[in-house]
Structure 1
Amino acid sequence: MPVWLPYCGSAPDPGHWLARWNFDPVLIIVAIALLGLGWWKHPATLRSQSCATALFAVIFISPLCALGSALFSIRAVHHLLLTLALAPLLVAAIGERASTFRPGLVPTTVVQAGVFWAWHFNPLYELALSNDAVFWAMQASITLSAMAWWLALGRAASLVAAASTLATTIQMGLLGALLVFAGRPFYAPHWFSTQVWGLSPIEDQQIAGLVIWVLGSGAYLAIASALIFRALTPSPRPAVA
């Protein structure tokens, strides 16, 4: 039987997980560098940079990181935080410096979906939880593909952006439904780490599916609805002198 040693450490139990902070010095340096992402040249983006750094710390430095080693449902929350919160905050932090990078909305929609689904394919997921380099490849690819999508989304016409967001809503819902109705647990690293939390592996997986289906799809649906509303709302006519 393989021994899973994720980057965030072995799976904690309920009595000790709050003490499981990750003080990896390399990670601390990355967080500091993230905070100083050119703010001295672009002080207007300091708020986004600060929020991105704080969220980065929550995901990778706080006990939430170790909790993801125990529960796949927390890993699902982790992945949604990357795509729905960290990625747009980083795009806002980069600001005008991203103006030379103009990804197309259709390819970024496809790539983001492909990357997200690929890392939930159990052999790749299991590899990421047993190899630090693969773990960081997972984090980077999910975040970067989402950043490219957010960049493209911000430059697209409202109805086109809404169509892309609805497509993302659907694929997130399909993945969540697959996890909820699978009937068996997929992810071996969590088969023996959920019981101390009062969950069976399949229950943990079903909660993860609901997180992706309800929270993930719901967030994208809300964005799509706002874009459609903006597209259908008449622009105010300029005042006549």
Structure 2
Amino acid sequence: MLGWWSLDPLALAPVAAAGVGYAVRARRLRRRGRPVERRRVAWFALGLGLVVVALVSPLDRLGEERVFYLHMGQHLLLGDLAPLAVVMGLDGRLLRPLLALAPVRRLRWTGHPLVALPLWAMTLWGWHLPPLYQAALAHSGVHALEHMMFFATGALAWAAVVEPLPGPRWMGTAQKAVYVLVMRIIGGTLALTLIWSGHVFYPNYGPGEQRWGIAPLTDQAIGGGLMFVEGGTITVVAFSLLFLRWVREAEVRQALLDGGASAEAAARAARYGPAAGARGGSPPSS
């Protein structure tokens, strides 16, 4: 079984660098009396763990055996679950050193919801077009680029919902629910296309499917089914959490209004916490 694990240093180096950078920054913040919440640390660790599982576990090797649904499982980890967990582990304090870098500052516009969502959608659909997907199967460099783009655009898309940094004022909880719904419609449409197309899009999987005794259309349909179920599960969980947040924000906002706070200050405090309302602005990013 250990032979199925492939410890590729080049694949693990960015994960290790991210983990070390996070630990160093969290330690500095703790020394300054501003410790990072344990839940954030746990989320970030989970996200990195999911990346490691996707890249070096038997899932990666079995996907290389040309079985589509296993490869789809890897992509769901890299493009959806791991980015969500990583983003849940971040906030402005942790990101400040990264945001100080000029290249990162120039790219901050990609985190705007109206930019991040189209980037995510184009990446998801673009890489599942047969020519690009087949190229990723045939060339390791293209495959690595595919994985990086899945993770990067997934993180940008989820950041618009989680808000490790303050987002546009209009992007409230209700708008975030609509945003998640649009994400899942886009992903669900691709999943249903894979399930019901009746056409094999990726013939390069043929040899592996024959070895595993899986019909190509069945393999493709199972992969689409995994995508559909994962997306539906995430949507239900996200909607539930957003609803609870909407209720809490409404209660906090009303209590502040009853206490004499201005409508703007009450809205800020309900969204970002009491400190933001007291400061008259969004939460500090440092």
Same fold (TM over 0.5): yes
Structure with the greater relative contact order (CA < 8 A, sep ≥ 6): 1 or 2?
Answer: 1
Instruction: Provide the TM-score with structure 1 as the length reference.
Output: 0.83
| Alignment-mate amino acid for residue 31 of structure 1 | V
Secondary structure of the corresponding residue to residue 199 of structure 1:
coil
Richer in helix (by share): 2
Find the counterpart in structure 2 of residue 3 from structure 1.
Answer: none
Q: Secondary structure, in 3 states, of the residue corresponding to 1:230?
A: helix
Deviations 1:192-236 (A, max 9, x none): 211332311110000011111222233124313432453356415
- Residue identity (%): 23
Determine if the alignment matches structure 1 residue 32 to structure 2 residue 16.
yes
CA distance in structure 2 between the partners assigned to 1:217 and 1:108 by the alignment:
20
Aligned equivalents of 1:227 and 1:50: distance in 2?
23
Of 197, 213, 237, 1:198 maps to 213
For 1:49 and 1:222, locate their aligned partners in 2 and report how far apart those are by CA, in whole Å: 19
CA contact (8 A) 2:19 2:48 kept: yes
Alignment of structure 1 residues 17-166 onto 2, 5 Å: 19-43=3-27, 44=36, 45-69=40-64, 70-96=66-92, 97-98=94-95, 101=108, 103-155=111-163, 156-166=171-181
SS in 1 for 2:83: helix
Deviation at 1:105, TM superposition (A): 1.1
Matching residue of 1:13: none
Answer with 1 or 2: which has the greater Rg.
2
Secondary structure, counterpart of 1:186 in structure 2: coil
Distance 1:29 1:154 in 2: 26
Amino acid paired to 1:71: V
Distance 1:215 1:137 in 2: 23
- When the two chains are superposed, the root-mean-square deviation of aligned CA atoms in Å is 2.4
Contact 2:69 2:220 in 1 (8 A): yes
* Runs of 5+ consecutive residues of structure 1 not aligned to the other structure: 1-16
Q: Structure 1 residue 176 and structure 2 residue 172: aligned?
A: no
User: Given the superposition, is the C-alpha separation of residues 108 and 117 from structure 1 closer, same or farther in structure 2, using an over 3 Å criterion?
Assistant: same
- The change in CA–CA distance for 1:231 and 1:39 in structure 2 (over 3 A counts) is same
Distance change >3 Å, CA 120–CA 90, structure 1 → 2: same
Choose 175-184 or 77-86, whichever is displaced more.
77-86
CA deviation digits over 1:38-58, x for unaligned, max 9?
312214354344323322221
The one-letter code matched in structure 2 to 1:169 is R
Deviation at 1:126, TM superposition (A): 0.6
Structure 2 residue identity aligned to 1:57: V
